Structure 1
């Protein structure tokens, strides 16, 4: 496997075109006083886009991500981009960190220093990791995908091949959002590769094998069902008609921002004030990555492929059986669709279940210290 050094750099012409488009946005109407009730609030979005056009410093984002070694390679005919942040400690554990939608490896930047060099951040060298953080095929610098069939199982196989190509025959795995089904499939396909699986999000809709819910679980299931009814419009669109959606998001930066920002606000532990947990620069770094790589459509296609993959069990090597790789779960209070440890243990070999005091769906960006501590605690002593 060949690895090509990579740095993020966007041409000035692309940035100039973005600013031109932002300043000429055709804004829709909004019912006075409706705020976020119908979706992304127009007042907030106008302010964000004005900042994006006139003040946002993309070059600072490039400097931040380029501070970490990055590479590209080709796996199964697809370009794959990844950060490879090696620890100065030779006995560090390899750790595969997989993001989700709408996100990129930028989500993990706050964790890379403490994970790779714990001594410099008040920890012990025995907790050190070599971090590999790829962009999912079709997302950001790994996109767009050029063909059909890039579902979680195929991506899991590609990431297993990536880790092998880097010389890591056994490694730790962390997944959030789409990274959860991807690394769960990796655990099913190739359990011998993993020393452990750490997740912040479990599959939605898990039920106990005995079919009996406790009163607490009944209330949790009902709350999850209500939230799915309110939140899953984007899933319906992205898993059925991603191409139709892609035209608007690829042509309009304001549209791309609206599509992502609404989810960032809804899924973070922010009490309605997104910028209390993520700065404008962090928000726009994610939005702009999708914009400059034109991967709104190819990232959405993963939902289309995933729906068909999980509906067709003949293509699933290990079916939906229990994951026997030792599993740790960090339970952030504002994470989507929580379950109980009892139910989770019917589906995963749960060896670590930690209830967090705060944080939401983007834990690595919202609460990097809590996540780092939990990764250290779960993988400590595993080899």
Structure 2
């Protein structure tokens, strides 16, 4: 399982074609006079596309990304891309604790880059982490898995990456969204190697046959179902007809970035103002990565294969939740994740930082990770 250094380098002809397509973009008109009420505001999209075509400096963004150490390795027969940052080491001091940070959709490794240096270079060297940030299978520079895409399957790949490829004996895990499911599967499957699991969202058991939902839990589940009716249009097409929508997004960079920022605005803790959390350069860095790798369609695989996922079994390793401040998790009772996590040691509701918390509130996430994992460094 050889590890090779990796350098991001988008060919000039790809960028030239992208710019030409952006200049030819056709825009729709708003279906509702209320700003963003019917999806991405056409006026904002026009402004963003114009900047992407004639203002955004991809080569500057590419150089900033390449300042991080990137690698690829063959794991389970497929290429996995990851960033690997070594934590500060002091003579006679403890070794940094390895931690794997897993993003979700429509995200990327970029989500974790703001928090990574805070983890590798803390004020107290005893709190240092080695940080590993893989790209999910089918996202950007990581190949789709062999067979179906499940959270459990990704956890198995990550375990192999961490223990066999990188040689870590013990490690922690953090993530949200898909990454939260992968993180919890790591804890459920590998209690001998996983020191603890920390998520910003809760994976809920769907089996209430032995212990019916309490009134508080049912009220939350009913509210979540109501929210999903308003929010789930994007997922309905991606799990039922992913190739249809992918055909449009693979051909239109404007459509691609619209599809992404629709969820960035909805799920971020931005009070409706997208750029308080995602400036244009960061948005377009992510969009250009998706465009240049042609991976928006393959990123949908985890939706199409979603029915193959099973409820996460009981997690016995120490667990932590720093709850995302987004509508899907409003009023989530602690008792629901406690049905899955037998040892929920850390429960935090800071009230800031949404679906992409590591990007939105990196200092908060770094502090929460240090606090949770500090006593676990010497356990096991």
* Shared fold per TM-score greater than 0.5: yes
TM-score by length of 2: 0.92
Aligned to 2:76: 76
Counterpart for residue 377 of structure 1: 371
Deviation at 1:180, TM superposition (A): 1.0
- The alignment status of 1:161 with 2:154, answered yes or no, reads no
Q: Which moved more, 1:231-240 or 1:95-104?
A: 231-240
Query: Match of 1:141, SS?
Result: coil
TM-score (norm 1): 0.92
Corresponding residue to 1:107 among 87, 105, 111:
111
Asked if 2 retains the 8 angstrom alpha-carbon contact of 1:335 and 1:359, the reply is: no
Cα distance in 1 for partners of 2:184, 2:339 equals 14
Contact 1:99 1:179 in 2 (8 A): yes
**Would the alpha carbon gap of residues 153 and 73 (structure 1) be closer, same or farther in structure 2, given more than 3 Å must change?**
same
5 Å-filtered alignment, 1:218-229, equals 218-229=218-229
Match of 1:116 among 99, 120, 130: 120
Which 5+ residue runs of structure 2 have no aligned equivalent?
none
Q: Note the C-alpha offset of 1:247.
A: 0.6
CA distance in 2, matches of 1:295, 1:246: 9
Q: For residues 334-360 of structure 1, what are the alpha-carbon distances to aligned partners after superposition, in whole Å with 9 as ceiling and x for unaligned?
A: 263352112211211211001113111
Q: What does 1:194-209 align with in structure 2 at a 5 Å threshold? A: 194-203=194-203
Q: Report the alpha carbon displacement of residue 34 of structure 1 after superposing the two structures with TM.
A: 4.2
How many angstroms does 1:258 deviate by? Answer: 0.8
Is the alpha carbon distance of 1:296 and 1:182 closer, same or farther for their aligned partners in structure 2, counting shifts above 3 Å? Answer: same
Asked if 2 retains the 8 angstrom alpha-carbon contact of 1:99 and 1:107, the reply is: yes
User: In the comparison of the two structures, how many residue pairs are matched?
Assistant: 369
User: Residue 264 of structure 2 corresponds to which residue in structure 1?
Assistant: 264
CA contact (8 A) 1:206 1:344 kept: no
Pairing 1:206-285 to 2, within 5 Å after superposition: 210-215=211-216, 217-285=217-285
Match of 1:11 in 2: 11
Structure 2 Cα separation of the partners of residues 299 and 204 of structure 1: 23
Structure-2 separation of matches of 1:342 and 1:227: 20
> In the alignment, is the contact (CA less than 8 A) between 1:336 and 1:361 conserved in 2?
no
Q: Which piece of structure 1 moves more, 226-235 or 328-337?
A: 328-337
User: What is residue 333 of structure 1 aligned with on the other side?
Assistant: 325
Distance in 2 (CA, whole Å) between partners of 1:80 and 1:227 is: 34
Which ranges of structure 1 fall in alignment gaps of 5 or more residues? Answer: 311-318
- Distance in 2 (alpha carbons) for counterparts of 1:345 and 1:130: 29
Two-structure CA RMSD over aligned residues (Å): 1.8
Please state if 1:296 is matched with 2:289: no
CA distance in 2 between counterparts of 1:309 and 1:210 reads 22
Structure 2 CA distance for aligned equivalents of residues 146 and 16 of structure 1:
31
Alignment partner, residue 97 of structure 2: 93
Contact map agreement 2:175 2:198 (CA 8 A) in 1: yes
Aligned to 1:344: 337
How far the C-alpha of 1:113 sits from its partner, in A, is 1.2
Question: In the superposition, relative to structure 1, how do residues 297 and 106 fare at CA in structure 2: closer, same or farther (>3 Å)?
Answer: same
Matched residue, 1:314 = none
Shift of 1:162: 0.5
Contact 1:97/1:175 (8 A) holds in 2: yes
8 Å contact kept, 1:201–1:336: no
Q: Per-residue displacement from partner, 1:344-380 (whole Å, max 9, x unpaired)?
A: 1121121100111311111011111101000000000
CA–CA distance in 2 between the matches of 1:276 and 1:291?
24
